[in-house]
Amino acid sequence: MLDLHAQKLSFAYANWQVLHGLQLDARPGEVLGLIGPNGVGKSTLLHTLSRILRPDAGKVLLANKDMWHSPPRDIAKQLALAPQRMGQQPLLTIEQTVALGRAPHRGWLLPLTKHDHEAVKRALKQVGLWDMRQRTVNELSGGEQQRVVLARVLAQEPKVLLLDEPTSHLDLKYQSEILGIVKNLARDDGLTVVISMHDLNMAALYADRLALLHEGHVVAIGSPTEVLTAEQLSRVYDVPVVVTTHPTYGTPLVMPMIQNAE
């Protein structure tokens, strides 16, 4: 299993500085949730951690090695990024789409080996799509398509899994299913998981640790109880909130205060 570290990471789009000397560490066997307001840089951070974007300063260390000193294909065998949406897809079956995740190991032209087929089958079973594998992707609901995205990156057999808002635009059932799968991958398979999230209450339930981003920095990192405080959230999100305790699980429960109420 592999650790992932961001050391004094900075990145800017033209004149817009997004990350400022950011420090972060992600560990095997845990889910690290990235939270913060819209536009704070969660997706940019994930793209920088995945070697899609090269930082202007600082380093991303995978297993204590600078990621930019390794060939991209070697990184893709160890780390996978699941995007927010699947995007336009040709008329491939679910199984064919998931098999694309084997490209870092086989390239685009070599036929799949027995191990490749086993990896695809295992990924499909992990997300509950094995029995649907012959259906085409365009037939699927949003939640099912998101499971295909997750299965495709699992077929890479990564040690580090990055997920960019995998539950956005999904209903409560599919949110719970996706996050439950992700939690099991960390706990049972020892993956290092970093996931960006908007729903603070879901983050409290499913993440082992949270990193709160604000103005390009990680302003708080720790357990959900340590990070999800009314003082910190009210300041970062610029809205007063109340934080209570979940009646069943004991995790923080965040609610905005009603403003301008008569």
pTM given for the model: 0.92
Q: Which of 157, 175, 208 is the last residue of a domain?
A: 157
Tell me the residue range of the domain where 24 lies. 1-78+158-227
Residue 69 shares a structural domain with residue 165: yes
CA distance 46 to 229: 24
Assign 247 to helix, strand or coil: coil
Burial classification of residue 35, based on how many CB atoms lie within 10 Å of its CB (0-12 exposed, 13-18 middle, 19 or more buried) = buried
Residue 99 shares a structural domain with residue 201: no
Lowest-pLDDT choice from 24-28, 32-36, 110-114, 187-191: 110-114
* Number of domains comprising the chain: 2
CA distance 206 to 184: 10
Confirm if 33 and 191 have CB atoms less than 8 A apart: no
* Mean pLDDT, residues 144-152: 90
With residue 9 as reference, give the H or E element that holds it. Answer: strand 4-13
Report angle CA 218, 189, 219 to the nearest 5 degrees. Answer: 5
CA 224, 226, 232, 236 torsion-angle sign: negative
pLDDT at res. 106: 79
Q: What is the CATH number of the domain that holds 185?
A: 3.40.50.300
The answer to the question of residue 246 being in a domain is no
Summary mean pLDDT of the chain: 91
**pLDDT at 261 > cutoff 60:** no
Burial classification of residue 217, based on how many CB atoms lie within 10 Å of its CB (0-12 exposed, 13-18 middle, 19 or more buried) = middle
The answer to the question of residue 151 being in a domain is yes
pLDDT tens across 192-243, in order? 999 999 999 999 999 999 999 999 999 999 999 999 999 999 999 999 999 9
pLDDT at res. 121: 96
